[in-house]
Chains A and B, each alone.
Chain A
């Protein structure tokens, strides 16, 4: 499924977070959106899933306009999206297994029997190597494990679109690499349009087919990984090198 964001704007009170954003997320490829903290990367993901309403602009899924669709069309699109939240956002009063089953239990098709749902959830847990922890509560496992369970929960509906909000922030390099390996496995085994939000350079290149750089609410780069690596754009260069001096001002 192809996703197009067109002239998207969003502000909170007086703060203009996204200004006229236009990005193309090609079908079955993974696009990584990079940019300094606070530039509105998470806000963009939440606009795409309908968690926020855009002030203006449109979001197209295979040319169906999400922003002007009926509730039914919107929720049918929502069900095709898997979302890995920054802190995994597992429900902390239920077990790991129940978390993974959750989208099935509360999805529209209620015809699955409990044992089938358990079976499916175990399959997904096995893929992320968390089967041993199926009876643990989310509070009892580490953040890296929670993110793996979050991936299993996102994958159980076999989504056509997968969104990852900073899959590696807050993880040590080893656990971070495990998550990247997992994303690579997912890309190999199933077809989906991926959007990853991250500021982990250069690690995130390994799972990216395309890079978009946001800064100050605008797109400053849109191209392939190798183009990004070789880009001489001053904003891109400063961000890649982590320079203090340059066009990017902190806390903007």
Chain B
């Protein structure tokens, strides 16, 4: 019994250690952003890998999400005779909630997991040691470009998600649900305010930062062998996904109360 309690305690201490280390890690990575030489090429490469290569899947998911929102929104609203407001429902849901969250989850699955695996393999095959042995700071070279690119990519991808989503909602709403095209757009314009857009943007920035942070840190701390990489990747995807959803609740609460006052 005492053994069990003590192992529980040890586990907790290990957890706190890792948490502390992850903050030191991200702080170092951010401060390296201001250190010359600026690795613009590496940053652009990561923008491409994390951002550009995610465009098609984000657009696809965005389009169908918008379409589903139109169908569901129209069904609910029609019960109150308010199906004319379907356009607002689609746009607001996408901008405030589903755009940032689903984009972050998609990027996490696509780019986050591969980041963890790549860094983990670099660690266990001594590539990170090789960098250090050449006098190159691996955080500066590997982590900083990824962290910046991830933080910037997610909001941009979210914008694509929302745009394509509204398009999908419009096509379904106007094409198959017989909503008036003019009304769809005009109610949308009326209901969406700058604060909606800002809160969506803030969320997606934070999601992008957190998911890259977690993915990079898990890869960086990867254990030995294929098992180590496997564990790190799984844990990175699960941790980031949970983080995104939990943060989403708190951010929504904070942002809503901020803008209501």
Contact = CB atoms under 8 A, between A and B. Distances in A.
A78 B134 contact: yes
Contacts of B37: 110
A106 interface: yes
Contacts of A75: 135
10 contacts: A78-B133, A78-B135, A81-B133, A83-B133, A87-B125, A87-B126, A91-B127, A91-B130, A103-B134, A110-B37
Contacts of A49: 132-133
A46 B127 contact: no
Interface string A79-108: 101010111011111000000001100110
B129 interface: yes
A89 B125 CA distance: 6
Main DSSP-derived SS at the A contact region: loop
B18 interface: no
Contact of B134 (A46, A93, A106, A110): A106
B41 to A, nearest CB: 10
Contact of A85 (B122, B126, B136): B126
Contact of A46 (B122, B125, B129, B141): B129
A85 B135 contact: no
A89 B121 CA distance: 10
B135 A83 contact: no
A174 interface: no
Contacts of B135: 75, 78-79, 107
Interface string B104-141: 00000000000000100110011101101111100001
* 8 residue pairs, one from A and one from B, having the closest CB atoms: A89-B126, A89-B130, A78-B135, A83-B133, A75-B135, A85-B126, A49-B133, A89-B127
Contacts of A107: 134-135
A106 B122 CA distance: 18
Contact of A86 (B118, B126, B141): B126
B77 to A, nearest CB: 50
Interface size on A, as a range, is 20 to 34
B127 A92 contact: yes
A106 B125 CA distance: 20
A2 to B, nearest CB: 20
Interface residues of B, number: 15
A51 B129 contact: yes
A91 B45 CA distance: 15
Interface string B67-103: 0000000000000000000000000000000000000
Q: Which of B37, B121, B135, B141 counts the most chain A CB atoms within 10 A?
A: B135
Nearest to B118: A93
Contacts of B134: 78-79, 102-103, 106-107
Interface of B: 37, 118, 121-122, 125-127, 129-130, 132-136, 141
A146 B133 CA distance: 18
B42 to A, nearest CB: 10
A162 B122 CA distance: 22
A40 to B, nearest CB: 16
A107 B136 CA distance: 8
Given A92-B125, A103-B134, 13 more contacts: A46-B129, A50-B132, A51-B133, A75-B135, A78-B134, A78-B135, A85-B126, A85-B129, A85-B130, A89-B125, A92-B121, A92-B122, A106-B141
A107 B135 CA distance: 8
A110 B36 CA distance: 13
A127 to B, nearest CB: 19
A248 B134 CA distance: 36
Given A75-B135, A78-B135, A83 B130 contact: yes
Contacts of B118: 93
B136 A106 contact: yes
A101 B125 CA distance: 20
A155 B135 CA distance: 15
B220 to A, nearest CB: 15
A89 B131 CA distance: 9
A167 B194 CA distance: 63
Nearest to A49: B133
Q: Which of B127, B129, B132, B133 counts the most chain A CB atoms within 10 A?
A: B133
Contacts of A83: 130, 133
Contacts of A110: 37
Nearest to A74: B135
B47 to A, nearest CB: 15
A84 to B, nearest CB: 10
Contacts of B127: 89-92
Interface in A114-144: none
Contacts of B129: 46, 51, 85, 89
A163 B188 CA distance: 67
